Structure 1
């Protein structure tokens, strides 16, 4: 039986290559894309993920949960980076991680993964 991976998937080059890399190594990949209101067109994401080798591609509208449970508390606290930036992108990572773990349980996956590179801080946000 193939080991299953739930991959946080943006549809970009890095995560598309990761899908192929994992499938070439015998993993079954299910991609997860969170719609947190980023304004990007997400309709083509499932097709792109499957073309890269994913067996299933999930796009999940989590805008309401993100706004209610993450953004509003942040805004109420007045937390800003350098006194002017709301950190909403960084704030979405814990919720996306939570959803990845929920899906890992649902699909009996062995691993969760992301495609964040060392250029920014996202790899730290996903892994802590």
Structure 2
């Protein structure tokens, strides 16, 4: 029997709003479509892991809902913060100490504006 590993990034989050750590309306549609597609696959899922960020859990909730609608039983979700995203800007600032003239790091001097609404 062949074993496969399937990695899924969370659906679209709510960038530029007061709460990034939730799915946008588009993200909910993406998660529902993904859940339906995954539930239709013949694969047997032996474990399901997620970070503890809300957008991770919301994405997987759509998978569980689609599986239930298709009368498929999935293993319990194992939540582990080690799957969370890391602070990439902090990592790049640390790198800057070793490469202060790297032109790719200029964007750290001008953070992206966040849209409200």
Alignment TM-score, normalising by the size of structure 2: 0.40
Higher strand share: 1
Query: Could you say which structure has the greater relative contact order, defined with CA pairs below 8 angstroms and 6 or more residues apart?
Result: 1
